[in-house]
Amino acid sequence: MASANTDLVVRGMNCTGCANSVTQALRAVAGVASAEVSLQEGRARVRWSNGSQSTDPLIRAIKEAGYQAEVLSAIQPARNQWSPLDGWRFNAVVGGSVTAFLVVGEWLLHLDHQQWFQWTAFVLASIVQIACGARFYRGAWRQIKQGASNMDTLVSLGSTTAFAYSVWVLLSGAGGHLYFMESAAIITLISVGHWMEALAATRAESSLKSLLHLAPQVARKVDNGTEREVSVDELRSGDLIRVRPGERIPVDADLTEGQTSIDETMLTGESLPVDKEIGSKVYAGTMNVTGQFVGRVSATGEGTALAHIIAAVQRAQNSRANIQRLADRVSNVFVPIVVCIAVATALWWGFAPKTAHRVVDFLGQYLWQSHVPASSITAAIICAAGVLIVACPCAMGLATPISIMAGSNAAARRGILIRDGIALERAGEITAIAFDKTGTLTKGKPAVVAFEEFGSSPLPARDLASALANASNHPLSKAVAKDSSGKVDLKNWRETRGAGVEADTAAGFARLGSITSLNKAGVNTDVAAKFVDEWTTRGTTVLGLSINSDLIAAIALQDEIHANARAVIERITKRGLKVYLVTGDNPRTAKAIAEQAGIPTENVFAEIRPEEKSALVKQLQDKGDRIAFVGDGINDAPALKQADLGIAVSQASDIANEAADIILLKSDIGGVVEALGLARATLRTIKQNLFWAFFYNAAAVPLAALGFLSPVLCAAAMGLSDLVVIGNALRLARFSDKK
């Protein structure tokens, strides 16, 4: 499958907030399926939803966001090489060396009043302003040209204010303290903060990047009995490959020869290897544990289950939660408001210094001593610079995306795919969970446990039932189809969802379906009353087989309930959530299953046809419940969409077509509790980060305006605020839900 990607070089990004702005700009372009932006590499990768598209809208969107971009082409390989002038490392090393020298000179050796040291400080601080501050000035200028502003604007204004004031004092001979050390420290500390921020963000992306590199790039192709190693890009659907023990599988394939066990932990979160035999599916990136096998390629490249999972995680990481809207509204006006506060601070200290000092002296009794310069002009400039530097719009911009990134990565490692940030929010508001029975509470692998014929049949009953069920994908039909290998000629075969299958035969019109549906169709089912009564009380599903209006057989199918189903239901109810069971089975079977699982009988809804499930969910919602519906996705799509939160227990190969909000790649329904717990933990982290971002700015800006925070402390505090937000989000990697 050809790749439909576009890679771009993006310039002007200084922090994770910048990378997020570029991501959002790219996602807004028509035809873009997903966008991944790497801050450290200065790259962006766009995946198109409908093939290769024009790159002009991408570059235009990035430019409108205040950044520069160009297409990464084959003639630009040199940009992959590391350069000491790239990234924040240069700023940290050069700026750190200058700042350390000036700190020692001023604070330890007290050389700040000697003329030679002042001129040395001027030269060194100028180097920092030009070489290290260039990134901030370029970023601020790009934003200004777009009529916008961001963190670069504040840092540039703050550092330039301290530096320019010191140059004026030095050149005019006015005397007084020079702030060259402070101007260098501001740029250095913020650069170090961004460097650490980029490293932390890279760690948050680590699990996704590890997924990207799981599938090997070469495969052992089998052609006319001979083997040769080829690039995975050369493989096509239908090709044969051989995989030996201990090797990772390069593509999705169906086993055609051999038996083995596959470690699918990275794909589904299942800890134990899964046995595979001829006809089983294997997936790219998983590990072949025991035997060697030959498989027929079913998907390559972006068509593999691994690629779909990666795309799903990226979609979640690039999504925005509704809660982010508040932060967006504040961020849009944040920088202009901070600049206004800085101007007001300068005017206050410049024209009413006595009043300002009285306020500071009074508050100093309860806080700490403020070292505001005695000169009103100096105090005005330094306090205003502190306000500009300490304010941090990045923390607000990072609060949601970094949490979603960390949460979605943590979920993916557990075999849980969360569609987007809105799904996270909905998960935190759920009051009830409705389980579909087959494939969720039960394992979805029913088997025929009893088959009873009534009277004489013109056709072999088992063979007829198997033939009718053979073309259906329903789990019950598959079980019946396996019960016999006999052949019966059918005509006009059709399937009615929730009712069964039917066709014309040489002996008449044949039906296979639930006893209830056969009754409604006019079939006399009285002869099976004893059979139905006996087997439904055991929790089995009973199907009837009829020709014309005569019931010729009844079939009991047992679908084993998950061993931990009762424990999972108990954990859910302990959290104050209601649990409902929804099934197409008859009431007696449904209640027997509910009793095994620990679900109250009054919360059981039986004989619900697939198309009626969404109406039932709507009915529960109308009563005030916020419903999470858990289904296997076969007949549950309408209910999954109607629910406040759709949770699908899915096969890895079905991810591309799945429309649920949360997808569980393993059959263990304990994943439902884990998914809800992780989603709620992520939402809680978002709220904590937003609170910290608002609280930090609400407290830090007034303290800087009053002189309780020096410009150097302001720079350190601003960098720390970003790291606190990122560090809090990274805690999700260690999420544990054992309640």
Q: Which residues are catalytic?
A: 436
DSSP annotation of 235 reads -
Inter-residue contact 62 to 32 (CB < 8 Å): no
DSSP E strand stretches across 328-463: 416-418, 432-436, 447-453
Q: For residue 659, what are the contacts with CB-CB under 8 A and spacing of at least 6? A: 637, 640, 641, 646
Give the 3-state secondary structure of residue 155.
Answer: helix
Q: What is the distance between the alpha carbons of residues 635 and 125, in angstroms, rounded to a whole number?
A: 69
Query: Cα–Cα distances in Å, from 457 out to 476, 505, 547, 551, 705?
Result: 22, 13, 9, 9, 94
Element (H, E) at 553: strand 550-558
Closest CA to 69 of 7, 117, 14, 152: 7
On whether the CB atoms of residues 413 and 662 are closer than 8 A, the answer is: no
Helix boundaries (H) for 439-512? 461-469, 475-482
Contact partners, residue 506, CB within 8 Å, separation at least 6: 458, 459, 489
User: Of 243, 184, 254, 203, nearest to 219 (Cα)?
Assistant: 243
Pairing of strands 226-231, 218-223: antiparallel
Nearest to 708 by CA among 426, 332, 372, 231: 372
The 3-state DSSP class for residue 631 equals: strand
Q: CA 588 → CA 324, 534, 553, 561, 605, distances in Å? A: 48, 10, 20, 16, 11
In the chain the first and final C-alpha atoms are separated, in Å, by 44
Q: How far apart are CA 407 and CA 212, in angstroms?
A: 18
The answer to whether the beta carbons of residues 710 and 189 sit under 8 Å apart is no
| SS3 state of residue 664 | strand
Q: What is the 3-state secondary structure (H, E, C) of 240-262?
A: EEEECCCCECCCEEEEEECCEEE
CA dihedral of 228, 231, 232, 237, whole degrees rounded to 10 = -60
Per DSSP, the residues of 495-552 read EETTTEEEEEETTEEEEEEEHHHHHHTT-B-GGGHHHHHHHHTTT-EEEEEEETTEEE
